[in-house]
Amino acid sequence: MKKTTLLRNMILERKALVCPGAHDAISAKLIEQAGFRALQVSGFGLSATYLGLPDMAFIGFSDVVHFTKNIVDAVKVPVMADADTGYGNSINAMYVTREFIKAGAAGMNIEDQVFPKRCGHLEGKQIIPMEEMVLKIKACKAVKDEIDPDFVLNARTDAIAVAGIEEAIRRANAYAEAGADLIFVEAPRSVEQIELAVKEIRAPVSINLMDAVSGGKTPLVSIDRLREIGVGRVSIPVGPLFAAVKGMKDYLDAIKGDRIAEGRTELVAPFADFKNLVGFEMFRELEKEYLPRYVE
């Protein structure tokens, strides 16, 4: 089964498909290894790890599609891409859609923020007119229908922060009618808002959780509860990145001042595990077969 079809079917179950965020190929491999059935490329994570900058549209599309392809190629599970605002108008968004499909992504998020956008849990957001976003979705749908109709178009609205939940629902239904397969309602303020969105929106709903990270706009709700409500997808975009930062900080704190972290095995992954993660032994077997002077 195509990854696009697999992702679409899992979302249509409305059983809160959990998609952790990957910021590189290693994090993607770890997400897959942990047993998750799909993952989300984190635009926040790409900007932070490759540029050391916040999620405020500093990273260009050519870099994003390149890094996304690396992530797609590293795993077997479906990968959702992050198209931000489509990197321009509807015509730009059509190109973006085509390139993500070519890169092997199973779906993509596209949002109704004014460019340059910012992370959905940051202040200072602005949204484009609903009619403009509707046309952008129709344009993206035309591309995906031509290449792969099962490619999941996830329309994100940031309207709650700007105009409230009722406007978010109004926009969500317009986006669904325009051809969005999934509606990403960003930063609901309560469980009641999530319930209302799922009840009123005529398409599967995606919710974004900051997981154990403090400072997110959405309250922490258990996956079981979101499943009961009927949420289609749950993204946890920055949890893996923040965990990685904490792990590196703990290790560096242990060795600063010219110390050695002797015996601190809890701070690092075993070398054997890391070699297994990146497929070292597979390449050693290829060397045995194809290199004239194989060295044991």
pLDDT of residue 215: 54
Q: How far is it, in rounded angstroms, from Cα 237 to Cα 263? A: 33
C-alpha dihedral sign at 98, 79, 19, 47: negative
Which alpha helices (H) appear in 43-104, and where do they start and end? Answer: 43-46, 61-74, 90-102
Q: What are phi and psi of 77, to 5 degrees?
A: -80, 160
Instruction: Identify whether the C-beta of residue 98 lies closer than 8 Å to the C-beta of residue 147.
Output: yes
What pLDDT score was predicted for residue 57? 86
Give the residues of the chain that fall short of pLDDT 50: none
Measured CA to CA, the distance from residue 252 to residue 237 in angstroms comes to 25
Position 212 scores a pLDDT of 53
Q: What is the pLDDT of residue 254?
A: 96
Enumerate the domain spans of the chain.
Answer: 3-245
The β-bridge partners of 156 are: 111, 184
**What CATH architecture does domain 3-245 belong to?**
Alpha-Beta Barrel (3.20)
Spatial distance between the Cα atoms of 95 and 150, rounded to a whole number of angstroms: 18
Structure-block tokens of residue 208 = 């974004």
CA atoms within 13 A on the CB side of 296: 0
Rounded Cα distance between 61 and 96, Å, is 8
| Contact (CB, 8 A) for 191 and 219 | yes
Q: Tokens 């079917």 correspond to what residue?
A: 9
C-alpha dihedral, 80 to 97 to 162 to 124, nearest 10°: 80
CA distance linking residue 184 with residue 205, whole number of Å: 6
